[in-house]
Amino acid sequence: MRTRSTRRSFLRIAVGTAATADWLAGAHLPRVSVAEAAVSTGVAGSLTTNRADDVEPLVRLIEGTPREKLVEEVVRRIRHGTSYREIVAALMLAGVRNIQPRPNVGFKFHAVLVVNSAHLASLSSPDEHRWLPILWAIDYFKDAQAQNVREGNWSLPAVDESRIPPAHQARAMFVEAMDRWDEAKADVAVAALARSASSAELFELFCRYGARDYRSIGHKAIFVANAWRTLHCVGWQYAEPVLRSLTYALLNHNGEANPADNDFTADRPFRENLRRLARFRADWASGTNDAGATSELLDVLHGCSASDASEFVVDLIGRGVAVQSIWDALLLQAAESLRRQPGIIGIHTLTTANALRYAYGAASSEATRQLLLLQAAAFTPMFHDSMRGRGDIADTRIRDLKADSSLPDSEPAALEQIFSNVDGDRERAAQMTLAYAERQPDPVAFMRLARVLVFLKGRDSHDYKFSSAVLEDFHHLSPNWRPRFLAASVYNLRGSSADDNPLVQRVRQAWQA
């Protein structure tokens, strides 16, 4: 445990203008520019049949190297010129080939889901820090791979080339297979689509099926968003195995009877919301921002059914309320849920809302966007139902959170107090964060420090998934609501008093070797 003076020195360095490379042991890492780590060009065209042989040796290295040696070996490759995109692509391919998204699209499969979150953390970091989240994700993959071996050593099978349909039949076959929950037919259909369809066409299909059912507490929608965003980074020549894994994950129904022939609770909102689409106004996307309507929806979401939530959203659209005001309520309610019951379900209210909000912004079809909005509303009460099975839920409202007026005026001192309280008194840390965010409309230093602490002290995939989601969605809210959203985030951010992850020291030693 560090002394208070050491912690204070670190915090002052981290929130100031000076780089934190020495503290992060990143001073010797080659810099990764934003251009190298950002979205790759040409993603709007058709997917290629390239089998990604260019990174296959690196994939095999990640698959076959023991965990205790892998980070050091990857660092050696980086020092000899292996690029950021090659590393991320190989990690994603190793994940989808070696980690089964069953019996739940979570658990060990977080090794795949976290790749994009680590990438987003890298994008938001100074150049010299961009390797650290990716190296953490590589190490984390080995733990998931070992668990997969213990559970039967599943691997993504080779596609049955003899059954792949012609390109002009692939879309219809895929839709039929997904609607009927037919894994074998969907697998060959998506392989054909990966070789012929555009990324935009495929996204429209997958984001609808990713939001189709509530099973896996939102991980299906998260996988869709994270898969697409990772492919945007590394290139669409790697799409086929990723999309095959994604299809297999979306068709998981927890061993229940075929959902196509039943009316399970997890599927019902989607079917109801398909019928609600006919009630959207023609100019539904051009409403008026209304903070009062946001508060109304927050009140409804505090204790309603999935059907009631979607119905109220349709009513607000009919009243001319802007979609932005609706998303404000959905994101705030997700943050409120975490505050009411900190833990795994509360975390996923936010990471799922982030995935659905991303899909909403990236989809081109009006019907798809409308459906995603309604599903996001319906999922909120379903998360509450899941929380009830895990213990008490505090009867608190995010609008009732009070700012701590005792917070120091100095920004470094304020941040020191906030993150020192995160590990012991999260409610006080939230009150302090609210006071800080109300006087810092653009809390760059807070976000920088939050990410640094995840790099240093994060040990779980949710540290990366959660922090990347909430720090991104802060900017998706209307400015008047942002401080409360940021305040609730401290219920799952890392504090300054937690022990460091030993992996940081391994990275330092590898780069100094």
98, amino acid identity = N
CB burial readout 142-175, b (16+ within 10 A) else e: bebbeebeeeeeeebeebeeeebbeeeebbebbe
Number of neighbours of residue 390 by Cβ within 10 angstroms: 12
Structure tokens at 353: 């809302």
- Position 124 scores a pLDDT of 83
Percent with pLDDT over 70 in the chain = 89
- Position 56 scores a pLDDT of 96
Burial of 200 (0-12, 13-18, 19+ CB in 10 A): middle
pLDDT classification of 372: cutoffs 50, 70, 90 = very high
Q: How many helices (H) and strands (E) does the chain have?
A: 24, 0
- Position 35 scores a pLDDT of 63
pLDDT tens track for 49-61: 445 578 999 999 9
DSSP type of residue 288? B
Is this prediction's pTM over 0.85? yes
Q: Note whether 249 and 268 are within 8 A (CB).
A: no
Q: What angle do CA 175, 178, 179 make, to 5 degrees?
A: 80
Q: At what angle do helices 426-439 and 444-457 cross, to 10 degrees?
A: 150
Give φ, ψ of 291 to 5 degrees: -65, -30
Q: How far, rounded to the nearest angstrom, does the alpha carbon of residue 444 sit from its chain's CA centroid? A: 20
Residues 458 and 469: their CA atoms lie apart, in Å, by 15
Residue 48 has pLDDT above 50, yes or no: no
The 3-state secondary structure of 208-271 reads HHHCCCCHHHHHHHHHHHHHHHHHHHHCHHHHHHHHHHHHHHHCCCCCCCCHHHCCCCCCHHHH
Residue 17 has pLDDT above 50, yes or no: no
The three-state secondary structure class of 163 is helix
Residues 335 and 342: their CA atoms lie apart, in Å, by 10
The structural domains of the chain, with segments of one domain joined by +, span 29-261, 269-388, 401-500
